[in-house]
Structure 1
């Protein structure tokens, strides 16, 4: 009897620490799952922002009804793009009159890693839409060693699904990536990051080379707004011509 009472007492004494340990493990597991860039919760939040964009590339982030679109010509192995990308995303969040559009421009010096990672991002978007594309880009920039070194072989995309893997294996997104790279070359874009700011109201555009700070972007918005409104005032009843203000 005494031995039985002692066993029950010892069990109760151990029960408290065990329950505390189990709670800690549960909280760590919840934090890990919700912190993943491809987690369903985060996809849902981002989809609330980008759900009104048409399906498929070009991939956009922000408000679908924004007056301005900022096209980012970028290489997923470019170290300057890697440091600039989160700053640009944050700027878009603060300036809802502008949305962001991605344009692949993998540079020859960063191949084949740049195109491989572009394919991963494209397949994420093909399977799960705009939000999944941007989450893949964010994850790639967080993991890559840049300058063509790529992502370590032992690191796998956490949201890789069988559908995404089938897309990657098919190589069908290669044509999209190459078409965007060719378009960038035709427009004279040879370095990353490069930005093209478009006024969706007037059709006017402005090319801004290099990582551009927020104040300069706001000045560019003001310039396009003034010029666009003036053009519309001069051409009452006539569609905007879409003339370009691109610097050379």
Structure 2
């Protein structure tokens, strides 16, 4: 008896069915993927910085002029000062404390390096400006405080061993560029144009009316309050009674 051999036609028929079934499965999978919820977009990866790259620095508040106190204060006390001036060194913490006690006022710094104190006065003013440029207003005021605490004054500058705590590569680049020195010189020329030649000098300005009083300093707390009263009264701006006129002493420092 001859063994049964499957016909080639039946085998081909089974292969066709298998291929059709496989194609149907693939079509069903494709339809399911297309109709399903789309995958969330992958987050954009952060750029990888090489060793020589630096992340963008955060934006710093504008300055100069540098202000200390409430931005919406009605009165601005502009302090014309020299960082080598002994009387400014004594007066600066006093005027800071006065500003803190009167929240309707704010302090504005105005550089006035005196010729008798150069080049140290402008060099230290540039240091403070660059501290503000790289660190913002708080860094500027911290630099002014530190300089007054460490300088020998009268044009002698800082002791050789003194090291500014905020020193950085960015600050040094700012100092080397001399753009801060240019800003200091602009403020000094503005002072000369306005007839201000001695330090410390105070200008009290009413931001509401635009009126101001120019007061030779150091100005005591009572005289500052009198200036506020005059600016808020109906009287024309004038120097408070008993306030000495601007003196012209050789080095430009205001005596106590």
1:111 aligned partner: 118
Give 1:218's match in structure 2, choosing from 205, 218, 225.
225
Give the ranges of 4+ consecutive aligned residues of structure 1 lying more than 6 Å apart after TM superposition: none
Q: Structure 2 vs 1, CA of residues 60 and 170 (structure 1 numbering), >3 Å: closer, same or farther?
A: same
> Which has the larger Rg?
2
Checking the alignment, whether the CA contact within 8 Å between 2:202 and 2:214 is kept in structure 1 is yes
For 1:209, the equivalent position in structure 2 comes to 216
Counterparts of 2:187 and 2:197, CA distance in 1: 13
Instruction: Work out whether residues 202 and 215 of structure 2, in 8 Å CA contact, stay in contact via their aligned partners in 1.
Output: yes
Aligned residue for 1:182? 189
Alpha-carbon distance in structure 2 between the residues aligned to 1:56 and 1:209: 25
The residue number in structure 2 matching 1:31 is: none
- Supply the distance in 2 between the matched residues of 1:245 and 1:117 (Cα, whole angstroms): 34
State which of 97, 104, 107 in structure 1 corresponds to 2:104.
97
Q: Within 5 A, what are the aligned runs for 1:34-183?
A: 55-183=62-190
Tell me the SS of whatever aligns to 1:173. helix
C-alpha distance in structure 2 between counterparts of 1:66 and 1:56, whole Å? 17
Measured in 2, the distance between the counterparts of 1:158 and 1:176 equals: 23
1:12 maps to none
Does the 8 Å contact 2:61/2:136 carry over to 1? no
Contact 1:204–1:245 (CA under 8 A) maintained in structure 2: no
CA contact (8 A) 2:211 2:231 kept: yes
Q: CA deviation at 1:245?
A: 4.5
**Distance (whole Å) between structure 2 residues aligned to residue 54 and residue 174 of structure 1:** 20
Q: Whole-Å Cα distance in 1 between the matches of residues 165 and 69 of structure 2?
A: 24
Aligned residue-pair number:
183
1:198-230 deviations in Å (ceiling 9; x for gaps): 000000010000101111101100110113xx7
TM-superposed deviation, 1:169: 1.1
Q: Partners of 1:107 and 1:175 in 2: how far apart?
A: 15
Cα distance in 2, alignment partners of residues 146 and 64 from structure 1: 32
Can you give the 5+ residue segments of structure 1 that lack an aligned partner in the other structure? 1-52, 232-243
State TM-score, norm by structure 1: 0.71
Aligned mates of 2:139, 2:161 — CA distance in 1: 22
